[in-house]
Amino acid sequence: MAQRARAALLGIVELNVGGQVYVTRRGTVLSVRGSLLWRMFSQQEAAELPRDSKGRFFLDRDGFLFRYILDYLRDQELVLPERFPERSRLQREAEYFQLPDLVRRLAAAAAPTASLATLAITWRSSLDHFHMFPQTHPPPRSPASH
């Protein structure tokens, strides 16, 4: 227990999130004012927070996705793997932890973007539409018709 008390004095927080253990600085969990973690660790007594059998703070959330929440808390940047199929689930976790800027970034990143094929079709359609307008000048005459 002396080791845990020493860690608390140094500002180290041990979290058990859905069975995954994370160790971070208290300042990291307090980095977004008004978030759920900020309220938990700045306004409540630590004794009131649920703990696991080893004394770590317990959060009944997705332990895999929490790594991205914690990364965001460290520097307020969203960095995800190139192919990340869990974006909507991560957005739900960001909503739970009350991180509105992260929610907005995830929503913006999930917004559909036009593919090259879509752009080509749109461009081609606009050309077809352009050619549908009547000509205002008569077509040039060929030299054979003179």
64 near 21, Cβ under 8 Å?
Answer: no
Sequence spans of domains, the chain: 2-110
pLDDT of residue 133: 47
CATH superfamily, domain at 2-110: Potassium Channel Kv1.1; Chain A (3.30.710.10)
pLDDT of residue 43: 73
For the chain, the distance separating the N- and C-terminal CA atoms, rounded to the nearest angstrom, is 105
Please give the structure tokens belonging to residue 40: 């938990």
pLDDT of residue 109: 81
Task: Tell me the mean pLDDT per 10 residues along the chain, length 146.
Answer: 53 97 97 95 79 97 98 95 94 98 92 54 50 52 62
20 near 68, Cβ under 8 Å?
Answer: no
The Cα 120–Cα 92 span in angstroms is 35
